[in-house]
Structure 1
């Protein structure tokens, strides 16, 4: 019998409306990966595994929390691996955002915004198949934690993200800002 997290991921990805053809191609690749790998949600799946991340934004969609990832050396959104306690992709994103930022009361937007597939050091030639959400912080939320895998954690204006970062993080920041401001549908 399929496990709940695997089924939730398949359901989320089947229903998600990709914002462009490249994202649609990734959506299909993620679903094919889950079809081939019953363990595709877990770090032990060496070809790759699904992860979840969140752009933590302020209520106006103008500021975003970024973490300076210790191993990668880039400013990125928070997120990470699925754990046995998780029952949904949204739950993974919210858990990781809360754990890594220390912000209580985050509100996750209901649908993913983007997908990002990238190589990682979890195993030889392994991929993260990241499902990216937006989490809205309460007004005036202060950061109280720097996660073990981070060297720093700060708020930045979305229109002035720090370097070094990457294109995937900048695209997520723009999508999260637009979704919070109500400028575009959040895809789903």
Structure 2
């Protein structure tokens, strides 16, 4: 079954207690109940993947200023039918930032977040079940800005809260200190 690998990853992942723990349970249930969970055509929601990309010294994280949402986020996006969420996260980092050479720092899921995407034109409000991986940039690479972002830059971890202070982002900042 196309969802087996993700279900196995989810079952071995140990989330933070509280909010992430609840989102972990919701994500497992969603994936089990929806065979088309990797397709954005599933209008109630779908699995997405993103990359928390750290600099070589692990003191900075790569964030992009999302054009449509007008906020800073880690790179990520829709699976569009691909059940390999790690590969999707890598592809999205490359497409949105130009950074291609990455080392996976944790051989499992780094974080899970479920968030509501507001209705937009013909697309109703829906949930993204975001599976996040942590990477480190391997060598110096040029950052590129694509049409989805206004800016992409390395942000010192101690300053991330000035760019985006949601619990979702700050949880990943906290986890970074344990790497």
| TM category, shorter | 0.7 to 0.9
Partner of 2:147: 148
CA deviations over 1:44-86 (Å, ceiling 9, x no partner): 11111111111111132200111000011101100000034x3
Structure 1 residue 162 displacement after superposition = 6.1
> Does 1:92 pair with 2:88?
yes
Question: Counterpart of 1:45?
Answer: 42
Return 5+ residue gaps in structure 2 as ranges. none
1 or 2, which has the higher strand percentage?
2
Contact 2:60 2:155 in 1 (8 A): yes
TM score, norm. by length of structure 1: 0.84
- Paired positions, count: 174
In structure 2, the partner of 1:33 is 30
Please state how far the C-alpha of 1:164 moved relative to its aligned partner. 4.3
The reply on whether 1:18 has 2:15 as its aligned counterpart is yes
Which residue number corresponds to residue 157 of structure 1?
A: 156
- Cα distance in 1 between the residues matched to 2:155 and 2:40: 30
Q: TM-score, normalised by structure 2?
A: 0.88
Q: Once the 2 structures are TM-superposed, how far is the Cα of residue 22 of structure 1 from its aligned partner?
A: 2.5
Calculate the aligned-residue CA RMSD, in Å. 1.8
User: By how many angstroms is 1:7 displaced?
Assistant: 2.1
